Structure 1
Amino acid sequence: MDTEEKKLAPIILFAFKRLIPLKKTIESLLLNEEAKDSILYIFVDGAREEKPLEKEKVQTVQSYVKEIKGFKSVHYFFSEQNKGLGKSIIEGVTQIINQYGNAIVLEDDLILATNFLSFMNQGLNLYEKESKVFSICGYTNKIKTPKNYPYDSYFCTRSSSWGWATWADRWNSVDWELTNWNSYSKTKKNFNKWGGSDCFRMLRSVKEGKGNSWAIRFCFAQFLQDKLSLFPIISKVKNEGFDGEGTNCKKWSRFKHIFDISNIKKFNFPTSIELNKQLYKSAMSYHSIPIRIYSRIMYLIHN
């Protein structure tokens, strides 16, 4: 592996049946100067057997993927069966991240700022040997920044799954099967306090086979290890998946953000890996019980 490939992490993109959102993701990614020197891996999930109309949509996505250009190289994997997002991401990321040591991971409903790849790669390189850092996140909720806060990013507990990156050693530390459930089941109060009032419910749904979220298992490993994730002050990602077409998103979201249109690539990263109390409180307010109750009402109105 040459020096250039080591410098820029591989990009892993997961797609399914939505052509237009995928095109928008690719188009925004190509506006990043670093894209031309980055290797792109695309995983397209298979159609569900009980939904015969999906097959044609998936085939259309596959045809588009085969024609993608503009990156250092493009590699794609088409699943014959429908794995679901959770299994697709766990298997796909594991395959690629163990080849390179790190990876930037995207889904097909994200719009990336022109400085997204720069921020992600700088974060990966800067904190690679800082074991306290579990992931680099490209998305951030709209937050209240303290006066005189000198940095362009901050640390928080709960990682975001909307445009993120990590290293192989952190990824491989996750217990995807939740094997030690007797012990894990006793962490409900602390896990919810650490990451938000909805955390343990989602984790339990995976264990009971009702959900398949890879992200809550990733966050749970982060909680058990008492590690932090890096977030930008201004979001480098916006999620356009709340259109009713996505498999895992509804038509309304409680999450609000400010999208970075600055193209600035010189970032001032925190030198100390610790929580800023004001930023932490602001970021975590989106996961509070009152906000979640309001969200449920809005879901009913908009769906």
Structure 2
Amino acid sequence: MSDFRLKTPVAFIIFKRPHTTERVFEAIRQAKPPKLFVIADGPREDRADESEKCKATRAIIDRVDWECEVIKNYSEVNIGCAKRLPSGLDWVFNQVEEAIVLEDDCLPHSTFFQFCETLLERYRYDQRICTIIGQNVQLGRKRTDYSYYFSIYNRCWGWATWRRAWQNFDFDMKLWPEIKESRFLDDILIDSKSVKFWQQIFQDTYDGRINTVWDYQWTFNCWLQNQLSIVPNNNLISNIGFGNNATHTKHTKGRFVKTYANMPTEPISFPLKHPPYIIRDLKSDRFMQKTFFEYGNLLTTIKSVIKKRIMKTESKT
């Protein structure tokens, strides 16, 4: 690892959490990317203290002390996570062909950067691959003897991609009605329970009932191209952002948080042991669908129902 010198640009998404931003920034600082794109949303008008938190978070970027071109895309008004991140990545990929992407609560292991850069180069022109992710949620289960495997699922907790893949991103999911009518999810997901789950997710996203995310659209558009994600056999990312200050990972208790918050990372060895084939690991995907997506979505649904009942009760009093 000592001989590795990162050449790939890093896109760093920040907002209002200086405590997590500082830790991720330090990991980036150790990797010393030659080019750092910083994407920041603006404070919300109805949050009195948010302006100062945004300023404190942005001030961390001014600490860059290595040879690096820092390019900032700071919004002075709040656009919202769903639109801010895709618009920021559009800006990044208008300037570079590939990038490593980290949000302000995704703390990478030091080997994450070399893992991404090695595979960005290896699969640069391979249209079968859409993204390289750093998070492994197999909970210690090793599916192959190789350094990584292939999945239909992508995750945004530390990842990398190319302009050639990102250019397919369509926030509005214009093709969803056709895909739904043609029942193509049956061909992609195979089992009926997973089809039902993702059909509801995509319909709610398309209809605007889920309006705080962008990664469901990213998954949908990768599936449209029949593309796979690369997943390391070791977990390289720890999400340190669970809590009340988070946008999506607000849960602070329960099995999901205990399992996925602050997951330990471990180094991946180099040179990488590349699989001699590009085939989806169905067993891994089924495990992830059941333990990560379905369970996590159940918690969100329960929380939403409880919140609505509380609001309904309060309105009657």
Please indicate, yes or no, whether the TM-score normalized by the shorter chain is above 0.5. Answer: yes
User: Counterparts of 1:207 and 1:295 in 2: how far apart (Å)?
Assistant: 18
- Equivalent residue number for residue 269 of structure 1: 274
Matched, 1:60 2:59: no
Relative to structure 1, is the Cα distance of residues 83 and 154 closer, same or farther in structure 2, using a 3 angstrom cutoff?
same
- Equivalent residue number for residue 283 of structure 2: 278
Relative to structure 1, is the Cα distance of residues 58 and 102 closer, same or farther in structure 2, using a 3 angstrom cutoff?
same
- Equivalent residue number for residue 19 of structure 2: 20
Is residue 143–residue 283 contact of structure 1 (8 Å, CA) maintained in 2? no
| SS of residue matched to 2:149 | strand
Unaligned ranges ≥5, structure 2: 307-317
Cα displacement (A) at 1:40:
1.0
User: Counterparts of 1:137 and 1:229 in 2: how far apart (Å)?
Assistant: 7
Comparing 285-294 with 262-271, greater Cα deviation is found at 285-294
Is residue 25–residue 108 contact of structure 1 (8 Å, CA) maintained in 2? yes
Cα displacement (A) at 1:206:
2.8
Matched, 1:231 2:231: yes
| SS of residue matched to 2:70 | strand
- Equivalent residue number for residue 144 of structure 1: 141
Is residue 152–residue 267 contact of structure 1 (8 Å, CA) maintained in 2? yes
Relative to structure 1, is the Cα distance of residues 15 and 197 closer, same or farther in structure 2, using a 3 angstrom cutoff?
farther
Aligned pairs (5 A) from 1:205-216: 205-210=204-209, 211-216=211-216
Cα displacement (A) at 1:202:
3.1
Identity %: 23
Relative to structure 1, is the Cα distance of residues 54 and 231 closer, same or farther in structure 2, using a 3 angstrom cutoff?
same
User: Counterparts of 1:279 and 1:168 in 2: how far apart (Å)?
Assistant: 27
Cα displacement (A) at 1:83:
0.9
CA radius of gyration, larger in: 2
Matched, 1:200 2:199: yes
TM-score, with structure 1 as normaliser = 0.85
CA RMSD between the two structures: 2.9
- Equivalent residue number for residue 9 of structure 2: 10
- Equivalent residue number for residue 163 of structure 2: 168
User: Counterparts of 2:268 and 2:225 in 1: how far apart (Å)?
Assistant: 34
| SS of residue matched to 1:155 | strand
One-letter amino acid of the counterpart of residue 168, structure 2: S
Is residue 154–residue 279 contact of structure 1 (8 Å, CA) maintained in 2? no
- Equivalent residue number for residue 155 of structure 1: 150
Cα displacement (A) at 1:125:
0.6
- Per-residue CA deviations over 1:249-271 (Å, capped at 9, x if unaligned) read 12243654863333633221222
Is residue 24–residue 104 contact of structure 2 (8 Å, CA) maintained in 1? yes
- Equivalent residue number for residue 242 of structure 1: 242
- Per-residue CA deviations over 1:18-70 (Å, capped at 9, x if unaligned) read 00100011112233xxx224311111110011222211111111222223333
Unaligned ranges ≥5, structure 1: none
Cα displacement (A) at 1:75:
2.1
- Equivalent residue number for residue 190 of structure 1: 186
Is residue 114–residue 261 contact of structure 1 (8 Å, CA) maintained in 2? no
- Equivalent residue number for residue 315 of structure 2: none
Matched, 1:29 2:19: no
User: Counterparts of 1:15 and 1:191 in 2: how far apart (Å)?
Assistant: 37
TM-score, with structure 2 as normaliser = 0.81
Is residue 12–residue 36 contact of structure 2 (8 Å, CA) maintained in 1? yes
| SS of residue matched to 1:178 | coil
Cα displacement (A) at 1:219:
0.4
Aligned pairs (5 A) from 1:79-90: 79-90=75-86
Relative to structure 1, is the Cα distance of residues 71 and 212 closer, same or farther in structure 2, using a 3 angstrom cutoff?
farther
Relative to structure 1, is the Cα distance of residues 297 and 217 closer, same or farther in structure 2, using a 3 angstrom cutoff?
closer
User: Counterparts of 1:119 and 1:208 in 2: how far apart (Å)?
Assistant: 37
Relative to structure 1, is the Cα distance of residues 185 and 123 closer, same or farther in structure 2, using a 3 angstrom cutoff?
same
User: Counterparts of 1:119 and 1:126 in 2: how far apart (Å)?
Assistant: 11
User: Counterparts of 2:248 and 2:294 in 1: how far apart (Å)?
Assistant: 21
One-letter amino acid of the counterpart of residue 267, structure 1: L
